[in-house]
Amino acid sequence: SQTIHQWPATLVQPVGSPLSLECTVEGTSNPNLYWYRQAAGRGLQLLFYSVGIGQISSEVPQNLSASRPQDRQFILSSKKLLLSDSGFYLCAWKSTYDSPLHFGNGTRLTVT
């Protein structure tokens, strides 16, 4: 069966520090991978998605970037965090274009 791992679960970082969140998927090959951010009262906002190694599409301009160095690995990064980067970050995968998304358990990021 397929599983998705996302870490860390919680993170507190000072403004201006770098960020690296990692997500890996097991039990499937060539998944579509996604990074979402969830803010209270604002729903799920798609940040990045990837349909293959090295292929990244950005949905909104922001202080973040994503990379996919391996087929089942997706990384969310920032060189310098802003207060507004605080939120709940979710990684997700799906196998085909219109199949359901499957989410990791998220990372709660607090920028102080």
C-beta of 60: minimal distance to another protein in Å?
Answer: 12
C-beta of 78: minimal distance to another protein in Å?
Answer: 21
Q: Which is nearer to another protein, 59 or 84 (CB)?
A: 59
C-beta of 67: minimal distance to another protein in Å?
Answer: 18
- Interface residues with another protein (CB under 8 A) are 6, 32, 34, 41-44, 46, 49, 51, 57, 59, 90, 92, 97-98, 100-106, 108
Total length of the chain = 112
Cβ-count burial 21-59 (b if 16+ within 10 Å, e if not): bebbbeebeebbbbbbbeeeeeeeeebbbbeeeeebeee
C-beta of 83: minimal distance to another protein in Å?
Answer: 21
Q: Are 2 and 27 in contact (CB under 8 A)?
A: yes
Query: What residues have CB less than 8 Å from 89, skipping those under 6 apart?
Result: 21, 35, 36, 37, 38, 76, 106, 107, 109
Q: Which is nearer to another protein, 41 or 69 (CB)?
A: 41
What would the two tokens of residue 107 be? 């990372």
Q: Which is nearer to another protein, 85 or 104 (CB)?
A: 104
Q: Which is nearer to another protein, 83 or 98 (CB)?
A: 98
